[in-house]
Structure 1
Amino acid sequence: MIIELPTGPYRLRSSGGYSPGPAPLSRRLLAAAHVVADPLGDNTPGSPAAVDWDATLAYRNHLWEHGFGVAEAMDTAQRGMGLDWAATRELIRRTGANAAGPFACGAGTDQLAPGPHTVDEVVEAYTEQVAVIEETGGQVILMASRALAAAAAGPDDYHRVYGHLLRQVSAPVILHWLGPMFDPALDGYWGSADLDAATGVFLDIIESHGSAVDGVKISLLDASREVDLRRRLPTGVRCYTGDDFHYPELILGDSAGYSDALLGIFDAIAPAAAAAVRALDASDTATYNEILAPTVPLSRHIFGTPTYYYKTGIVFLAWLAGHQTHFRMVGGLESARSVPHLVELFKLADAAGLLPDPDLAAGRMRAFLEVST
């Protein structure tokens, strides 16, 4: 099939044909899932999020069917970029009530109004969100907090906040270090803009509360730094890669260990990624690399600068692949990427075998281009 794109005629390949299957065994995989907006709702910037709950939950079932755990209410779900706390709370509760597989949920402080807050207020906000997650039976992911980044005077405040939370949780949690490329408001997290110093604080907190920490998610897009941190973690603490640029080699690992994964790109490439890691389970590294190799250019494109707009590409691909009926987003974020960017995404997704119905994808791409000109 040939489709006329602004870059010229393009011939689509056939479907990748990745079928649902059991959860991979050799690595723990969590996919940070997006939310599906109500296309007829008021999702203008600054408005409370209007969510299509049925379509949103159906997408989580798609991820569970391919053997993933769902990482709920993370930045991929537009936390801090359109998804307000009221909608987030409802999302967490609905996912918990309808879970068809493992799930973990992000706890943050985004119910706090804009403006300065005390460290005590940050603790109270985190505590409220942790309680909502624990009520559902989900695992807690302690997300990085913009309010804490603004309120903290230095490393001692991070020890104080995380120490309090880790002493109170009912089960081991995942700690999330999200770099400023994903959210500029998090620059200097852990009390220092020097990443070596910040890593030291991060490790001190983990070592002080090891029994309360299942693992850490590192989203710095720096593979060598992740490997270094992975080797320094206490025994039994997992490293979940959050590196959407270097995930194949980080998940594969080396003689000293490997990373599990909690990734936004898994939302987009779940069928291929699950098939790849099942091949890894069978010690078939060649097939693992063969499947994931064409997903890397796609991921690097989706997460290109400005990285925090990657959600737009994630939702566009979900629409092209037939998982939702429209390309609309909470906060009006569908306008955050250009037509050339999305055209290139279409071609890269096809090359990676991630358009299961090429006729549908081509028809939707034509419709998108028609209304864009």
Structure 2
Amino acid sequence: MSRTLHLPDGPLTLSGTGSEWAAPGERFTGRVAYAAAHVVADPAAENVPGAPPVLDWDATLAFRRHLWAHGFGVAEAMDTAQRGMGLDYPAARELIRRSAREAAMAGGTVVAGVATDQLPPGPATLDEIRKAYGEQLADVQEAGAGPVLMCSRHLAAAARDARDYLDIYGQLLDDSGRPVILHWLGPAFDPLLAGYWGAGDQGRAADTVAELIAAHPGKVDGIKLSLLDEDFEIALRRRLPAGVRLYTGDDFNYPVLIRGDDHGHSEALLGVFAAIAPPASAALRALDTGDLAEYDRILAPTVTLSRHLFETPTWYYKTGIVFLAWLAGHQDHFTMVGGVQSGRSPRHLATLLRLADAAGLLPDADLAAHRARAWLTTAGVVQP
């Protein structure tokens, strides 16, 4: 079978370099690294916009085993899993339960999103928001996963000032039986979260976060920062108390942030790691041994891909994540809950295919070529 494809910007012959990556089973020693995993839709179900999501559980859990095999922890039911964008809370709760059980059997680690999305869209009182957060925190702890306190659209709309955030998050920290990961997701990922932590200015918002962490010693494992601002992340990281981690969620600048400097480094909780797990695993193992040149060499082409994957409108990066999972053989179709497979154009995805080949993300070039040829044909790009 020919590996040569005709893309909108010219021909591409798939290289097959994605078969070079090994899958060691041990975790990394120098960094804590979570990959935020996507979900696999049931292609035979009515996964159309507005319909309740129906998942292919076997394929969804198999992908988590793939991540654990490469040494990553799994960040479950986060925005990469289409939380707030097709995955409702009943499905998210079941996902967390199944993933935590699977982690226990596989010897993997899992943290999971705690939010307020069981509430209906629209206004909610602060008391309703507090109770919704509390219900999900209890669900995650009962499942045996580590809690990640996600940003709440309801809280962003209802909070009057920073004090409301401090009160609600403070109660959650008091109620949690284990240290939590805070999550600061910027408006590039969700415009409804603008002004989170009670301030439009990031510096003032950071003051609120620092006050919250200082007021609850031992209750915060770390904070995941997804603002796509390298300098701000470094500045916040240096403000954190000893023992509190900064988990980078910066899908543009992750290599330098994870690599670190003389003053410290960021750990990782990244959506892009779901797409680039094999080379990212090899890079992190090179970092474990102090081989910085090899670390930089492996990750360099993934950054070009990630910047394309997360380009504006950033929240549709999930479409590219699933497209790559299909081409790499992790699922049998390119269908998403909520019909979100339509979130990126054929030209965008064709460029993503080219970048994926350059980054070594396609372990079976013949399979990828077969699937890409069929998809390009349906997209109206005639193949040789």
Q: State the partner residue of 1:220.
A: 227
Q: Deviations over 1:231-285 (max 9, x none)?
A: 0001100000000000000000000000000000000001111110100110000
Paired amino acid for 1:138: A
Q: State the partner residue of 2:256.
A: 249
Q: State the partner residue of 1:60.
A: 64
CA contact (8 A) 1:210 1:237 kept: no
Query: How far does residue 15 in structure 1 lie from its aligned partner after superposition?
Result: 2.2
C-alpha separation between the residues in 2 aligned to 1:181 and 1:8? 31
SS state of the match for residue 40, structure 1? coil
Matched, 1:27 2:31: yes
How many positions carry a matched residue from both structures? 373
**Worse-superposed segment, 9-18 or 304-313:** 9-18
SS state of the match for residue 105, structure 1? strand
Matched, 1:349 2:356: yes
The partner residue of 1:260 within 267, 272, 280 is 267
Query: How far does residue 39 in structure 1 lie from its aligned partner after superposition?
Result: 0.4
Q: State the partner residue of 1:79.
A: 83
C-alpha separation between the residues in 1 aligned to 2:357 and 2:72? 22
Q: Deviations over 1:110-164 (max 9, x none)?
A: 0000111111111100111011110111100000000000110000100110000
SS state of the match for residue 122, structure 2? coil
C-alpha separation between the residues in 1 aligned to 2:225 and 2:287? 22
Matched, 1:337 2:344: yes
Query: How far does residue 193 in structure 1 lie from its aligned partner after superposition?
Result: 0.7
The partner residue of 1:233 within 240, 248, 256 is 240
Query: How far does residue 14 in structure 1 lie from its aligned partner after superposition?
Result: 2.5
Query: How far does residue 11 in structure 1 lie from its aligned partner after superposition?
Result: 2.0
Paired amino acid for 1:20: A
C-alpha separation between the residues in 2 aligned to 1:210 and 1:45? 43
Paired amino acid for 1:6: P
CA contact (8 A) 1:24 1:277 kept: yes
Q: State the partner residue of 1:121.
A: 128
Paired amino acid for 1:93: R
Aligned counterparts, 1:81-120, within 5 A: 81-99=85-103, 100=106, 101-120=108-127
Paired amino acid for 2:33: L
C-alpha separation between the residues in 2 aligned to 1:121 and 1:370? 49
Query: How far does residue 6 in structure 1 lie from its aligned partner after superposition?
Result: 2.2
C-alpha separation between the residues in 1 aligned to 2:188 and 2:70? 29
C-alpha separation between the residues in 1 aligned to 2:12 and 2:361? 16
Q: State the partner residue of 1:4.
A: 6
CA root-mean-square deviation: 0.7
The partner residue of 1:280 within 276, 287, 304 is 287
Q: State the partner residue of 2:331.
A: 324
C-alpha separation between the residues in 2 aligned to 1:168 and 1:207? 17
SS state of the match for residue 183, structure 2? strand
SS state of the match for residue 79, structure 1? coil
Could you tell me the TM-score, scaled by structure 1's length?
A: 0.99
SS state of the match for residue 138, structure 2? helix
Q: State the partner residue of 1:41.
A: 45
Runs of 4+ with >3 A deviation: none
Query: How far does residue 24 in structure 1 lie from its aligned partner after superposition?
Result: 1.2
CA contact (8 A) 1:142 1:173 kept: yes
C-alpha separation between the residues in 1 aligned to 2:324 and 2:49? 22
Q: State the partner residue of 1:293.
A: 300
SS state of the match for residue 310, structure 1? helix
Paired amino acid for 1:203: A
C-alpha separation between the residues in 1 aligned to 2:167 and 2:14? 54
Could you tell me the TM-score, scaled by structure 2's length?
A: 0.96
Paired amino acid for 2:17: S
**Structure 1 regions of 5+ residues with no counterpart?**
none
The partner residue of 2:365 within 342, 358, 368 is 358
SS state of the match for residue 276, structure 1? helix
SS state of the match for residue 17, structure 2? coil
**Worse-superposed segment, 89-98 or 221-230:** 89-98
C-alpha separation between the residues in 2 aligned to 1:256 and 1:115? 43
Paired amino acid for 1:301: H
**Structure 2 regions of 5+ residues with no counterpart?**
none
Identity of aligned residues (%): 60
**Worse-superposed segment, 94-103 or 63-72:** 94-103
Q: State the partner residue of 1:208.
A: 215
Aligned counterparts, 1:130-169, within 5 A: 130-169=137-176
CA contact (8 A) 1:23 1:274 kept: no
SS state of the match for residue 294, structure 1? helix
Q: Deviations over 1:10-34 (max 9, x none)?
A: 1222223111112111000000000
Paired amino acid for 2:282: A
Paired amino acid for 2:370: G
C-alpha separation between the residues in 2 aligned to 1:129 and 1:7? 46
C-alpha separation between the residues in 1 aligned to 2:199 and 2:62? 41
